[in-house]
A and B are shown apart, each in its own frame.
Chain A
Amino acid sequence: MDAVTLARLQFAFTIGFHFLFAPLSIGLSVMLVLAERRYYKSGLETDKRASAFWLKLFIATVAIGVATGVPMEFSFGANWSNYSRFVGDVFGFPLAAEGLLAFFLESTFAGVLIFARKRVSKGVYYASAWLVMIGAHLSALWILIANSWQQTPAGFKIVAGRARLDSVWAAIINHSTVGRVLHTVFASWTIGAFFAAAVCAYYILKGRHLDFAHRALPTALAIGLVSTVMMPLIGDVQARDIITYQPAKLAAIEGVFESGADQPANLIGWVDEGGKKVTGLKFPGGLSLLVGGNTSTPVTGLDEFPRRDWPPVQTVFQSYHLMVSLGMLLILVALIGIYYAWRRRLAYHRWYLYLLLPVAVLPWIATESGWITAEVGRQPWVVYGLMRTSQGASPSVSASQIALTLALFVLIYALLFVAYVWVMAGIIKKGPGRVPVAAEGAVAAQRAVASQGAGGIGEATDEGVGT
């Protein structure tokens, strides 16, 4: 294999692995803040334990997220030095900002959360949880600002063969940035929500930590529902941007080989790149309808582009449709759950609780698929329309060096993955812990008192269900 292919493999593998953990940590940071908010208001031991439980899961995830995130910052220069020369004037700033604004906030106050429960006041601790959550979200914001510029470069001029910043705002608040950030944040919340839902379902099925699980499950499902519903709405806005600025990507997404009106949308299908056709279940005129509001809207096809400028059509098509199908399925699962939660009957539908366990994996698959759609759909460009991926690699790094380090990454990351799953399973098996039996009965009474005192925040718990 040549150096460029190996460098691409290495980048895809390392960022794809990192992208398993970064979204979960963002999603869990929300569960953490909600739990800590409850404790801040109630002061109950059970609520404190619930918060500590989410914190443990969050921190284990952040640890591997940080460990796999650090190499990304340096991989641009190491593996993609020509790319770095070309884009540095625009691209370095958001990376620096990510460190200054996001990582410092998250890491510094995560230190407070882990080690300073007894050293700071409840207020400072609660504020720290917020700052950690904000930091986690800001890191998504800044890295996606950088990524958006790769996708739809703006606010620059080409001077002496390098991109030169021309307008700060145009470069940073790119027209594709807002949609991308929201889409990714809601994807992260979806991952966190269904993960949390699965943990709660596991506890209810096992008859353990019921107070905790019955309280957290409806919350998780509500976050899951909002996030999964928001996703196609934002995606729709993004598609309009893609059709204008990345027409070849949109053509690959639905396998549009010939330009024209009345383009169908596929529910499922198979691309024959050689024969230039898509076999599948089609919704006639669907794509035209989606992008233009009526079926006569023309869509640019791949025929408008020389073959060497096509993205890998099959990969983009399949990853996109996998993402959409899974997204729809997740909306359905969340809807059913919310309905049962509203009727207070979650605990009686064990099939549903069993269903939630494997479903937790689906948001990850959907998110990685969406990411593959966005990034493989950008090919063959590393900066869309300006620099080809093959031109971005490091001339001074040999194929054997990249192969060696890729092998080491695979080895180390496999080890980390096993260790991570083992640690997470350990935390979940241990659970949020039990408040001593004598206190257990008093919890409900305490909570009633606390909720009166704090103006009724303790309502809507599932007390008694399934016990």
Chain B
Amino acid sequence: MSLQLVWFGLIGLIMAIYAATDGYDLGVGVLYPFLARTDEERGVLRQSIGPVWDGNEVWLLVLGGALFGTFPLAYAIALSAFYLVIMLVLFGLILRAVSLEFRSHSSGGQARLWDAAFFVGSFLPALLFGVAVGNVVRGIKLGPGTGGQPGDFVGSFSSLLNPYALLVGLTGLAAFVSIGASWAAFKTEGALQERAARARSWAQAVLVVLLVLTTVYTALDSATKTQLSDGLSRAMGWVGVALLVAGLGYGRWAMVAKKDGEAFVGAMTTIFGLMAIGEAGLYPDLVRSLDAGAQAVTIHNASSSHLTLTVMLVFALVALPVVIAYQVYVQRIFSGRVGLEDVEY
């Protein structure tokens, strides 16, 4: 197994962990204006993600750094290609980070402003991550590269807002809302909890419909009709499908049985399944080329040197378990539901 393949898997794992963890707090942000009816309830929702959202977001920074270090050409080409999309995501994340903090120091009209910033700041990334992924899978217009390197993006911004990418964006949004509602239903009490539980059912139903649409579109559209290229990615694809179906089924069962923790696990499994399917479908590419003439960005032509991949792998294998261990430890400190009387920040 090549180092490139190992890193492709590891980057996919980091991306999946990011989607599953920051996913739920982004989802809570999108649902925030709709689920909470009073200031106290808004406080409960914010407090439910307060201790963890920042740590969750760090997975995105690790993803960025890891992609930069291991597949620098993919990092360079993708980020400059999705320039305005990325910038909108960043503006969203900026607003979100400060709104959560500054909201706790304000009241009245100012508090409403930060509430709005929290919603917009959550909505933009939750929608646009999927739009970027849709384009990566479908392929973008890449120019001819020099010296055997893949070339830069030569298409227009509007070409990135194609129906397929938008559909994947909506699907991603539904997945984030679904896990966000599951988190809210798991962490809150009373009327707020009941509303979150209803939103959780609806979001999962919408997600299933969008998944069916995306699957049909992927199978029919000439640009996305790809074969799973070899045995490995086919196996990975089936693992993804199994996770997806298990996550959706288990989640639905848990919802009906009113087991909120289990429903959250189901939503998380669903996201892991989706990411695995995406990754299997993409392999061995990192960014597809829309024209057959230009070469795609692959794990082979975009990677760093053997030495860098090795050093970073050793580093990651030592650091990741430690990080996951203390994150789990801290999550356990905050286990249990957040009641109205618990809001202190």
Interface flag for A112 (CB, 8 Å): yes
Q: A93-B308, A101-B319 are in contact. Are A111 and B79 (CB under 8 A)?
A: no
In this complex, what residue of A is CB-closest to B75?
A77
A85 CA to B151 CA, complexed, in Å: 11
Task: Give the size category of A's interface with B.
Answer: 35 or more
Which residues 163-189 in B have Cβ within 8 Å of A in the complex? none
Which residues 119-153 in B have Cβ within 8 Å of A in the complex? 147-149, 152-153
Interface flag for B255 (CB, 8 Å): no
Interface flag for A108 (CB, 8 Å): yes
In this complex, what residue of A is CB-closest to B60?
A70
CB of A395 within 8 A of CB of B152, answer yes
Q: Please choose the segment from A57-65, A233-241, A377-385, A456-464 that sits at the chain B interface, where 4 or more of its residues have CB less than 8 A away.
A: A57-65
A364 CA to B43 CA, complexed, in Å: 35
Q: In the complex, what residues of B have CB within 8 A of residue A419's CB? A: 98, 102
Interface flag for A401 (CB, 8 Å): yes
Q: In the complex, what residues of A have CB within 8 A of residue B333's CB? A: 112, 116, 119-120
CB of B93 within 8 A of CB of A67, answer yes
Interface flag for B232 (CB, 8 Å): no
Q: How far is the CB of A417 from chain B (nearest CB, A)?
A: 11
Which residues 93-136 in B have Cβ within 8 Å of A in the complex? 93-98, 100-102, 105-106
**Per-residue A-contact encoding for B59-92, CB less than 8 Å = 1, 0 else:** 0111011111111110111111101101100110
CB of A63 within 8 A of CB of B101, answer yes
Partner of B326, one of A84, A108, A159, A168: A108
Interface flag for A332 (CB, 8 Å): no
Q: A74-B86, A100-B323, A396-B153 are in contact. Are A92 and B70 (CB under 8 A)?
A: yes
CB of B154 within 8 A of CB of A396, answer yes
A256 CA to B51 CA, complexed, in Å: 53
CB of B50 within 8 A of CB of A111, answer yes
CB of A81 within 8 A of CB of B152, answer yes
Interface flag for A164 (CB, 8 Å): yes
CB of A68 within 8 A of CB of B68, answer no
Partner of A99, one of B51, B61, B70, B73: B61
In this complex, what residue of B is CB-closest to A95?
B65
A156 CA to B186 CA, complexed, in Å: 51
Which residues 223-282 in B have Cβ within 8 Å of A in the complex? none
Q: How far is the CB of A117 from chain B (nearest CB, A)?
A: 9
In this complex, what residue of A is CB-closest to B106?
A423
Partner of B308, one of A81, A89, A119: A89
In this complex, what residue of A is CB-closest to B97?
A67
CB of A85 within 8 A of CB of B149, answer yes
CB of A89 within 8 A of CB of B47, answer no
A40 CA to B57 CA, complexed, in Å: 31
In this complex, what residue of B is CB-closest to A416?
B98
A17 CA to B152 CA, complexed, in Å: 30
Which residues 304-333 in B have Cβ within 8 Å of A in the complex? 304-305, 307-308, 311-312, 315-316, 319-320, 323, 326-327, 330, 333
Q: In the complex, what residues of B have CB within 8 A of residue A60's CB? A: 101-102, 105
Interface flag for A78 (CB, 8 Å): yes
Interface flag for B52 (CB, 8 Å): yes
B residues whose Cβ falls under 8 Å from a Cβ of A? 47, 50-52, 54-55, 57-58, 60-62, 64-73, 75-81, 83-84, 86-87, 90-91, 93-98, 100-102, 105-106, 147-149, 152-154, 157, 304-305, 307-308, 311-312, 315-316, 319-320, 323, 326-327, 330, 333-334, 344-345
A95-B61, A108-B327, A166-B307 known; 16 other A-B pairs, CB under 8 Å?
A74-B90, A78-B83, A81-B79, A85-B149, A88-B72, A89-B308, A100-B62, A100-B315, A104-B55, A112-B333, A114-B50, A160-B147, A160-B148, A161-B147, A162-B72, A396-B152
5 cross-chain pairs, A with B, having the tightest CB-CB distances, nearest first:
A88-B72, A92-B69, A77-B79, A96-B65, A92-B68
